[in-house]
Structure 1
Amino acid sequence: MASRRRPRGSSSSSANLAKHMKEMAKAMKEQAQATTLMAQQLSIGDRDSNIPRLEAGQTRTNFADFKMIGPPEFRRALDPDIAKEWLAEMEKVFKIFPCTKEQQVSYATFMLKVDAEFLWHGARRLLEDARTDISWATFKEAFYKKYFSLSVRESKEIEFLQLRQDRMSITEYIEKFERLCKFFAMYKANSDEKWKCMKYQGGLRAEVLTAIAPLEIQEFSSLVIKCQVIEECTKKLALERSEAFKKRQLNQESSQQSPQKKAFHGKLIRRQP
């Protein structure tokens, strides 16, 4: 009997199927190896004390991601307000950029340039010699000590303690109060919410103070909002009183002028031939 011939298409399709199965098996093997390697790295990161542990809600990031945000650089500045603004900008960046406390110090100190970088290296050596944990709070304290000398701190404290609202609006007063309070609070342990409210009230104008003091508000944000409301009411009342006073003055002037006009007209009549 003549042997049956297999169709050519069947052999090629089986070969393609076998090739496809091999590729799938290879891809699955590579994926399994990658998953195993990632798990090993994560477990090593959790066991290794040199790798900082992440807090809740944080992800592993790198310096390239940090630079993409555009953090500001800092060079030595004589104006303490500039130094404070730079530190505030860095803390604003860290609020939206997930990183550990150790990374915050590393990233922030990288943005120090020229004299600022040189001064930080000296301060860091002193902290390391004293075996001090260089956390973000430690860096802030060292930064403030470098750029706020004793004379500057004392002048800022005196300015803060003598601060009064005077002719400033509530908005202007709160801006200056908050700016000086940040300098003062860095070196005072009792700068709590209650103390802050008492100091703020002590500088208010009399018409605002007499309205706000009986409320005994001990939350600073609520105190500021109430003061703004009282200021608007005081302005409205002063405007109404001013308009009422002008009306009374006009009425008095018109009432005084009418008899004089009558007498003047009478004289003119008598003088006529």
Structure 2
Amino acid sequence: MAGGRNSGNGGNNLIEVVRQLAAVAQQLARNSNGNGDAQGELFKKVAQSKPPTYQGEPDPTILENWLREFEKLFGAVGCPENLKVSCATYFLRGEADLWWQQNETTIRALPGFNWAKFQEKVRDKFYPRFLQIQKAEKFSNLKMEKMSVTKYYTKFIELSRFAEEYVATEKAKARKFESGLTTDL
């Protein structure tokens, strides 16, 4: 009889464990479905804002603008780090899309892969070092000459992002801006 009671208790314990496992499984299923819905909703938010596409143009300004737009968009929609690359790569076209299709597996396998690593790899491909140096030199040599102050300022801001070492602080940026102004100002 004692054995019968233990097996009965064991049966109750087993039933309770099965109930708990079922509850956990249901919760996991809800979380999984909720996560999928959340990803879909996030992608809808991104797509509704009509972000630009990037086609692999050799102009680094286009690439930097594309990356900057996604940075702003991710902040606005609260995109979690683990979904940024998937959202952004949907908006690759042409050569950039082909590059991603051919290299995605290798790049995603890199240690610590994230949005920053993706940006690094896309810049390595479409904004090679020699172009980075050219843009930095263009900024370094920028002078107002016959431009209006507004045009000079616009060009200064556009090129300054390619030569951050020259304008690491606001004070350095102001000095560099002033050094390019014409002497009559």
TM-score, normalization: structure 1? 0.48
Corresponding residue number in structure 2 for 1:138: 117
Task: Give the Å deviation of 1:176.
Answer: 0.6
User: In the alignment, is the contact (CA less than 8 A) between 1:163 and 1:203 conserved in 2?
Assistant: yes
Out of 14, 39, 47, the position equivalent to 1:67 is 47
Computed over aligned residues only, the root mean square deviation of the Cα atoms, in angstroms, reads: 3.3
Write the distance in 1 (CA, Å) between the matches of 2:145 and 2:113. 43
Write the distance in 2 (CA, Å) between the matches of 1:44 and 1:154. 48
Write the distance in 2 (CA, Å) between the matches of 1:167 and 1:196. 21
Write the distance in 2 (CA, Å) between the matches of 1:146 and 1:196. 29
SS at match of 1:206: coil
Whether 2:70 is the aligned partner of 1:90: answer yes
Structure 1 residue ranges without an equivalent (≥5): 1-35, 46-50, 52-58, 209-273
Task: Give the Å deviation of 1:172.
Answer: 1.0
Corresponding residue number in structure 1 for 2:177: 200
Q: Which amino acid aligns with 1:68?
A: Q
Corresponding residue number in structure 2 for 1:22: none
Task: Give the Å deviation of 1:160.
Answer: 0.7
Write the distance in 1 (CA, Å) between the matches of 2:50 and 2:31. 32
Which structure has the greater CA radius of gyration? Answer: 1
Q: Percent identity?
A: 28
Task: Give the Å deviation of 1:90.
Answer: 2.3
Corresponding residue number in structure 2 for 1:108: 88
User: In the alignment, is the contact (CA less than 8 A) between 1:60 and 1:99 conserved in 2?
Assistant: no
Corresponding residue number in structure 2 for 1:216: none
Task: Give the Å deviation of 1:68.
Answer: 2.1
Corresponding residue number in structure 2 for 1:158: 137
Write the distance in 2 (CA, Å) between the matches of 1:76 and 1:151. 16
Q: 1:123 to 1:203 in 2, by over 3 A?
A: farther
Return the structure number with greater relative CO, CA threshold 8 A, min gap 6: 2
Corresponding residue number in structure 2 for 1:173: 152
How many pairs are equivalent?
157
Task: Give the Å deviation of 1:135.
Answer: 2.3
Task: Give the Å deviation of 1:203.
Answer: 1.0
Q: Which amino acid aligns with 1:93?
A: L
Write the distance in 2 (CA, Å) between the matches of 1:189 and 1:44. 48
Write the distance in 1 (CA, Å) between the matches of 2:58 and 2:87. 23
Q: Which amino acid aligns with 1:64?
A: K
Task: Give the Å deviation of 1:152.
Answer: 1.6
Q: Which amino acid aligns with 1:70?
A: K
Task: Give the Å deviation of 1:165.
Answer: 1.2
What is the CA deviation profile of residues 202-236 of structure 1, one whole-angstrom value per residue up to 9, with x for unaligned ones?
1122243xxxxxxxxxxxxxxxxxxxxxxxxxxxx
Q: Which amino acid aligns with 1:193?
A: E
Task: Give the Å deviation of 1:126.
Answer: 4.2
Q: Which amino acid aligns with 2:44?
A: A
User: In the alignment, is the contact (CA less than 8 A) between 2:144 and 2:181 conserved in 1?
Assistant: yes
Q: Which amino acid aligns with 1:154?
A: I
Write the distance in 1 (CA, Å) between the matches of 2:122 and 2:54. 11
Task: Give the Å deviation of 1:87.
Answer: 2.2
SS at match of 1:191: coil
Q: 1:60 to 1:107 in 2, by over 3 A?
A: closer
User: In the alignment, is the contact (CA less than 8 A) between 1:61 and 1:99 conserved in 2?
Assistant: no
Q: Which amino acid aligns with 2:172?
A: W
TM-score, normalization: structure 2? 0.68
Equivalences for residues 231-242 of structure 1 within 5 A? none
